[in-house]
Every structure is written in C-alpha cells, then in structure tokens.
Chain A
Amino acid sequence: MRLSLFLFPLLAIAQTPEFASVIEKHCLSCHGAEKGLSGLRLHTRAAALKGGSRGSALIPGDPAKSLLYSTTELAPGTALAMPPGGQQIPATDRAILKAWITAGAPWPDTLTLKLPQLKIKDDQALVARLHPKMEQATELKPYKRIIPNSTVEFEMLPVPGDTKIAPFWMAKYEVTWDEYRLFMFQNLANEARGAEPVLDAISRPTKPYVEMSFGMGINGFPAISMTHHAANKFAQWLSAKTGQFYRLPTEAEWEHACRLGDTETAPINDRSWFVDNSPESYQQVGKKKPNQLGLYDMLGNVAEWTLDQYDEKSYGKPLPPEGYILSTKPYPHVAKGGAWSDPAQKLGCGQRIWSDPQWKMQDPQLPKSIWYLTDAQFLGFRLVRPLKVPSAAQMFRYWNNGVERE
C-alpha cells in the first residue's frame, strides 16, 4: 500500500526520449528556439533538418554526415568541434546520438526541446550569483530608495564607525508593513513568477492564516511578529531587488548607532512609544523625535532584531572576528531597544531581550512556522547596509542563520 501510493505518480510521468535529453543538455543553450547561434536551432525536427549557416545538421540514417553528431567527434577544442570550449560530450551520450540518427532520427512532431530549467535553490550558489551585483559605494551619504516596481520608499542614514565598528548606513525607520508585505506577497511586489528566477528562489514567508498586524494597523506601521529567519530573508530579498547589500545589524552596531545618536536630554515621551503613551498598540514609524543621527524609534515602538545569538556571558566582552555571536540554536536571539509594551525604564541602548519558544505559543501547528512569531507583537526590525560589501561567504551567513527549524 505504502509503496504503490508513492511510486504510482512517478512511473506514470512520460519519459523524455534519450536523444532529446542529450541535445537539451549539450546543445540547446546555444541552439535553442530563442538563441539559434549560426542560424541553427535544434528545438524541433524540422529546425534540425533545415540546419544553419553550415547546412543541414541532421541527415537521418547518416551520422557521419550529420553535423549534429559529426562535430561532437572532432578533437575537443579544435575550430569546429562541438560543444565549443574543449569539453567533449561523454561517449555514452555520443553513442545515443549516433544510434538515434542511424535509426532514422525518430522525433515525434509533438516534441519540442527546451533548455532544461535550472532549478535555483536558496543556497550558497544563489548568494554567489547575487554577490557580484552588489553595489560598492565609496562614501556614506544619506539616500532614499524606492523598492523597484513599487511605490514604497525607504531611507538610509550614515552611521560613522569607530575603532571597532566599520561604518554603515542604518534605516531611518523600522521596517514597515508597506515594505514587508511586498516580501510576503509576490503579487503586491509586482513580481511575475518565473520572470526573475533569482527572486523566485529566495525563500519567502508562507501565507499566514491569521491577520498578522493583530488589528494594530498596516500603512506606515512597523512590521511585527516575524522570526529571525524571516527578517534575514527580507534583507536578502531587498538586496536582490535593489543591488545593495542589506542585513540585520549586529547587536554591537545597533548599540553603537543608538549611543552615537543619544538624545537622553529630551524627555522619553518626546522620543519614544512605550506603555505609558501607547498602552494598546504600536504606532506609525517616525512620529516622535529622531535621535541625533536622524534615526527614529530606536527606543520603544517595536523591539528590533539583531543578528546575534543571545549569550548572557559574552555581553561587553570582545566579539568573535565576525563581529557578532553566530547562531547555533533556534533560541535565543537578541532584540534591542524595548517596545510599546514596555515601561520607560526598559527602553535604552543597552536594553536587550531574547527570543523564546513561547513567542510562538499561539501557532497551533507542528512543526511550527519558521516565519511567524504569533506572540511577539512587540517585535520588529530595521536594516543596515555596511559601507564595505562583504564576501559571498559572509553574505550567505548573514542571510542564513541555519537554525530556523526547531
């Protein structure tokens, strides 16, 4: 029963003829329906018989006269040898072509060959593709950016470095639902599935069954209740969209930006949303006074994710070379600054909270979602962009904490 259930659909899938797989694999990237180098297209029998600038590529029954086959037998790397570049097609594949042509090159009319779809995965290879596209800036200047194909804008402000922290930009505001929902819903972002394989490949949140703003508002309000993994993937997605490298701040960077901009002289009520002035809900970003760097809502409104795994003992001690505590387990990770639900004394540059499985309490499913923290209605994030674009390997680590599954 179990076996038959599994295998039945697999067995029933129509087999692609062997010759077709060989041509698709070795020839079609240059001689497909679209590209057709030297006028030669090999996607249908008629096109192969017609041939290109060197004449017919296929003489049924005669492999030696069929350029489609004969060119694969030439010494690799020589002028007319196919495929070009010195890599000969494996002998078994050549044998398949030869036998097929000898047999009269049977090719059903209905069979159109297609370039095999490269299945792109959200892995190191994907980051390696993204890495060269990341713009390397030469100086820190404030800028605004519209997320491509949308009307949603975000703003980045310079945060100078010091002896320990390299300079970076930090987002003026916490990430809002306006931005985050473009990541949640491909259609809102005007992304057509299949149009940009790299964007398609980036993992995106599952559609939540419930209403994730919990009735506290969407337009201009901070996004909340996302997992650490979800925040990282948002950063990757935004980087892929904009060609600028974004990520979560490290705890050290977050605190650095908070202290540099410190405006403790102003009353907390002028600077922050907390339980006394907003007991029911978060508030729209940017409605209180910014700090001296121009950053809004660093303290209060929503607590903000950082890259760091929480480690009570390591706080204030020298950091590992990466500049933050790498993740080794799903919990706890550090969030900073305090939230609307906190009393004033819990708002501060040094204040930290740490994630806990209880933040997913109301998720009725098992395994629980890797995207949503149903009970962390006080938690959001903001992004940074380091002046110096890191290596692809570092980039991969920033976007993949590797511990999203509990």
Chain B
Amino acid sequence: MDLTQRRDLLKSGALILGAPAVLSAFQASKSIKIGLVGCGGRGTGAASQALKADDFSNLTAMADVFPERIDDSVASLKKIHGEKVKVEKTNMFVGLDAYEKLIDSGVDVVVLATPPGFRPAQLRYAIEKGKHVFCEKPMAVDVPGIRHVMETSKMAKEKNLSLVAGFCWRYSNYIVETFSKIKSGSIGDITAYYGTYYTNPVKPMPPADTRPAGMSDVEWQIRNWYNFQWLCGDSLVEQAIHTVDKVAWAFDDVPPVSCVATGGRQIPAEGGNIYDHFSVNYLYPNNVRAFVSSRQIEGCYNENADYIMGTKGQAIIGRGPNPRIVGENPWTFAGQKYDMYQKEHDDLFASIRKGTPLNDGERMCTSTLLGIMGRMAAYTGQQITWEEVMNSQHRIFPEKLEWSGKLPVEPMPLPGRTKFA
C-alpha cells in the first residue's frame, strides 16, 4: 500500500473513529465525568482515550497510591486535552482506599487501571455505587477473585451499567475480521490452536539494594507489582492473557475440559515470585487442543503469533503486519487498521449516551480463568479440570493490606510439591 496514501487514510480514519460518539438528543451535552484509578502509563493512556471518545467527557478525579503518578498523569493529559481535564486538588486521592473516595466524588465512569490484584474490590465498589466501568485486563489474580467479579458483572447487568474490559483484541477491527472469517468456516473446523507470547520481561525487579531504607514490604511490592503473584497474577495471567483470550474467542468462550502445563523461572527472580515461562496445553471437547507458550526473557527468539489450524486451512495472526488465512480460502487483511484502545472507549461512551449498556463480564472472566487455570497447572504440575478450577478456594491476594505492613513473599511454586487448592 502506498505510504503517503496510508498516512492520509490513517489521518482520516482517526478523524472518523475518534469523532465524538453519536449523542442522543436528550442528554447530548451533559458532561460525563470520568474518574481514573491507577495513574500509570496505561491508566493515563486509557483516560486519554476516554476523553477523546466523547466531546462532553471530563476527567474530574484521580486516585493512586503514589502521589507523583497523579502529578505526571495530570500533566500529560492536560497537554493533550486541556480544559477537559478538570481535576481539583481535592479530587486527587492517594492511598489504598483512594478508589472509594474517587468513586464517591460524583463521577459517572470509572477507569480501573491498577494492578489486577486490586480489581475485584474496586470493580465491586464502582458497580455498587452505580458507575459505568472500563477495567483493564485481567479481572483478578485468583479464582475467588474471579467469582467475585462474576457476581459484580451480574450486578452491572441488573443495574444497566456498562462494563467494558481491556481485552483489546476484541475491539481490533483486523482481528475481529480474522475471527469472523474463522467463525464463518474459512478454515473449516478448528483442530488445534497454537499461540505464542515470547517477549521481554515487563518491569523486571530492581536490585534489592536499591530499595530505600524504611520502605514497607507492601509499598516495595506495589512499586514492583509485576513481579509478585498477588498483584499481577503471574506473566501468563497478566500479559500472555491476550493470547489466552484469543484462544477463548476461537472456542466461542466455551471453557476447556482440562489443561496440563509446564512453567518455571530461569532468570533470577531478585525477590519476586513469578515464573518467566509457561507452556499450557488446553483440552477442548472433541479432543481439540490449544497450546499457549509464553516466555519473558531478554535476548531470546521473540514472537507473538497465533496459528489457528482447521480442516480447510490455517489462520495466522502476528507473522507480518496483516493476519491471513492459507488453505482452501486464502485471505489477507487488506483494510485500514484502527486504534483498538480508542475503540474500547468509543464503544463504551456511545453505549452510555445511547443507554444501551455493554457488558464484557462473562467472557472477561472466562478468559482470566483460563489464564489462572494454566498457571495453576504449571505451579502444581497436575492436570486440572475446569470443574476443579471453578471450585478453587485458593486466595493469593491478601485479606488485609496496610500500606506500612509486612508482607512476606510466598516462595516460588514447585511443581509436584505445590498443592492445588
């Protein structure tokens, strides 16, 4: 495709897609007030998309455990959105309970972008208080957390609240088109799915001697949240979950029968307790299997791709910029790609304006559970059935959390010794 022309298309595409959502005549210019919980890079990005999604949206409140994050975030957002950012000092909340204060500050939409361990409690509070929600993936770090989110999702439905999840590929036009080809039979019946998530480490643990004297366990771990199971759910649940989500999608969000997995840690964890590689084998009905392999180690072969094999061909995503199908019905995506992160918010705000709530609740929980299931199979070294997972009572997120509190790090799981619970 012609680059100059592509640029123009990108521009005009952005204009159309970034245009304000269609407003119903009734509440066309009523401000939609947004509160951002978790003001890191992704949260700030999500808030920016929320502000772009609707002409009359305003950011009015922000919450984080680190005040400097709020300062940086508000500065970045003001640079882009100017007057739409209306966050008074009194609406900047700091602390582990800051999200409650934010939700009680009179916002309409809550953007949840803290580490996933916090998600269930924050989501529940937001829905209880009648707020629409955009929440980043994944939904929880353990099964009790997911059950809690499932209940919350039902509550959202009953209250006619929108709940959009950051499983972003579901909002990407070129991936949506690929999956609709698959669903319409382009590759025949699916016989196997192989998904790779071989990347670099995300936010690796800094050396222990850089920990400032006097910093509590809880603060130190939250500052390095990606390295702790209770905060991030491990790399399969936090990052490779995008691939797991596509597996779930390919199988119509119907859960697998069981799974077996391997995983471990090759590079020293430096005080964290997450694995740096997983390989999961999900068994679906009719002996169809899905394989997800992930690795987060620097200097290795990297690939983030999906190979969906069927009786009539294969769909390939992530080998080259455009997904394609080879076999009886060859196809390559040739359209204009749009910004999936923006689309999540365009859809959310349009649904709010129209009064037709979106609810990603069920599938967002299924996908997260699939990730947790794979992780538990790797940690324990056991075959784990869907039924077992659904009944798991194992909590890894602490019942009580205090900012200055002690929090010993759970040891790295040892397959064959770590018990399924």
* Contact, CB under 8 Å: B3 / A280: no
Chain B nearest CB from A213 CB (Å) reads 7
Q: Give Cα A214–Cα B214 distance, bound, in whole angstroms.
A: 43
| A1-57 contacts to B (CB < 8 Å) | 1-2, 5-6, 8-14
List the B residue with the shortest CB-CB distance to A379: B3
Most buried by B among A353, A358, A368: A358
* B382 CB-CB contact with A under 8 Å: no
* B298 CB-CB contact with A under 8 Å: yes
* Contact, CB under 8 Å: B213 / A13: yes
* A281 CB-CB contact with B under 8 Å: yes
Which segment of A161-169, A229-237, A256-264, A338-346 sits at the interface? A338-346
Known: A5-B94, A210-B199, A353-B3. Contact between A358 and B10, CB under 8 A? yes
Chain A nearest CB from B112 CB (Å) reads 15
Q: B212 contacts which chain A residues (CB < 8 A)?
A: 9-10, 12-13
* Contact, CB under 8 Å: B67 / A12: no
* Contact, CB under 8 Å: A281 / B213: no
Q: B390 contacts which chain A residues (CB < 8 A)?
A: none
Q: B213 contacts which chain A residues (CB < 8 A)?
A: 9, 12-14
List the A residue with the shortest CB-CB distance to B43: A366
Most buried by B among A11, A363, A365: A365
* B26 CB-CB contact with A under 8 Å: no
List the A residue with the shortest CB-CB distance to B98: A1
| B7-36 contacts to A (CB < 8 Å) | 7, 10-11, 14
* Contact, CB under 8 Å: A2 / B67: yes
List the B residue with the shortest CB-CB distance to A343: B2
Most buried by A among B4, B47, B239, B318: B4
Which segment of B118-126, B147-155, B320-328 sits at the interface? B320-328
Which segment of B299-307, B350-358, B370-378 sits at the interface? B299-307
* A218 CB-CB contact with B under 8 Å: yes
Interface size on B, residues (CB 8 A): 55
Chain A's interface size range is 35 or more
Query: Using a Cβ cutoff of 8 Å, how many contacts connect chains A and B?
Result: 133
Contact pattern, A 154-193, Cβ under 8 Å of B = 1, otherwise 0: 0000000000000000000000000001000101100000
Most buried by B among A210, A218, A339: A210
Q: Give Cα A214–Cα B10 distance, bound, in whole angstroms.
A: 19
* B407 CB-CB contact with A under 8 Å: no
* A317 CB-CB contact with B under 8 Å: no
Q: Give Cα A246–Cα B367 distance, bound, in whole angstroms.
A: 48
* B319 CB-CB contact with A under 8 Å: yes
* B332 CB-CB contact with A under 8 Å: yes
* Contact, CB under 8 Å: A281 / B320: yes
* A349 CB-CB contact with B under 8 Å: no
Q: Which of B10, B168, B198 contacts A356 (CB 8 A)?
A: B10
Known: A187-B298, A275-B1, A338-B3. Contact between A1 and B95, CB under 8 A? yes
Q: Which of A10, A187, A353, A362 contacts B4 (CB 8 A)?
A: A353
Q: Give Cα A30–Cα B145 distance, bound, in whole angstroms.
A: 61
* A58 CB-CB contact with B under 8 Å: no
* Contact, CB under 8 Å: A209 / B200: yes
Known: A215-B319, A216-B319. Contact between A346 and B214, CB under 8 A? no
* A377 CB-CB contact with B under 8 Å: yes
* Contact, CB under 8 Å: A185 / B299: yes
List the A residue with the shortest CB-CB distance to B77: A366
Known: A214-B318, A215-B305, A358-B14. Contact between A346 and B3, CB under 8 A? yes
Q: Which of A9, A275, A341, A366 contacts B45 (CB 8 A)?
A: A366
* A120 CB-CB contact with B under 8 Å: no
* A109 CB-CB contact with B under 8 Å: no
* Contact, CB under 8 Å: A215 / B2: no
Q: B204 contacts which chain A residues (CB < 8 A)?
A: 207
List the B residue with the shortest CB-CB distance to A357: B14
* Contact, CB under 8 Å: B214 / A341: no
* A245 CB-CB contact with B under 8 Å: no
Q: Give Cα A181–Cα B298 distance, bound, in whole angstroms.
A: 10
Could you list some 29 contacts between A and B, CB below 8 A? A2-B94, A5-B94, A6-B68, A8-B215, A12-B212, A207-B201, A207-B204, A208-B199, A209-B239, A211-B318, A214-B320, A215-B319, A216-B319, A218-B301, A275-B1, A280-B324, A280-B332, A339-B3, A343-B1, A353-B7, A362-B340, A364-B45, A364-B46, A366-B41, A366-B44, A366-B80, A367-B41, A367-B76, A375-B10
13 extra interface residue pairs, beta carbon distance < 8 Å, beyond A212-B302, A215-B305: A2-B67, A9-B213, A187-B298, A209-B239, A211-B304, A216-B320, A339-B3, A356-B7, A361-B10, A364-B45, A366-B41, A367-B41, A368-B45
Q: Which 3 pairs, one residue from A and one from B, show the smallest C-beta to C-beta distance? A: A9-B212, A365-B41, A12-B214
Interface residues of B (CB under 8 A from A): 1-4, 6-7, 10-11, 14, 41-42, 44-48, 66-68, 73, 76-77, 80, 94-95, 168, 198-202, 204, 212-215, 239, 298-299, 301-305, 318-322, 324, 332, 337, 339-341
